[in-house]
Amino acid sequence: MKVRIDEDRCTGHGRCYELAPAVFHEDERGHALVDRPTPPADQEEKVRRAARNCPEQAIVLED
Ligand code: SF4
């Protein structure tokens, strides 16, 4: 799995770094940054959950 943020869509709701804090963190505006663009297997379900819960559909997953 690979994950990235569509910065044009992210408006900073923060669901991603609440649901998968080992993979995402926030910048000074509350927008998401990706710490681990290739998440380890034990984080994949959390990343998928974060993607489903992003109100802006800003989390892009590639398998
Ligand atoms: S949940 Fe979506 S909109 Fe909110 S910070 Fe994360 S990527 Fe951005």
Partnered with residue 4 across adjacent β-strands are 60
Does CATH place domain 2-57 in 3.30.70.20?
Answer: yes
Question: Using one digit for the tens of pLDDT, what is the confidence trace for 15-62?
Answer: 999 999 999 999 999 999 999 999 999 999 999 999 999 999 999 999
Q: From CA 48, how far away is CA 30, in angstroms rounded? A: 20
pLDDT in the model for residue 34: 98
The residue extents of the domains of the chain are: 2-57
Query: How many Å lie between the centroid of ligand 1 and the Cα of residue 57?
Result: 8
Best mutation site among 4, 10, 18 for ligand 1, i.e. most ligand atoms within 8 A of its Cβ? 10
Q: How many CB atoms lie within 10 A of CB 54?
A: 22
pLDDT in the model for residue 16: 98
Percentage of the chain modeled with pLDDT above 70: 100
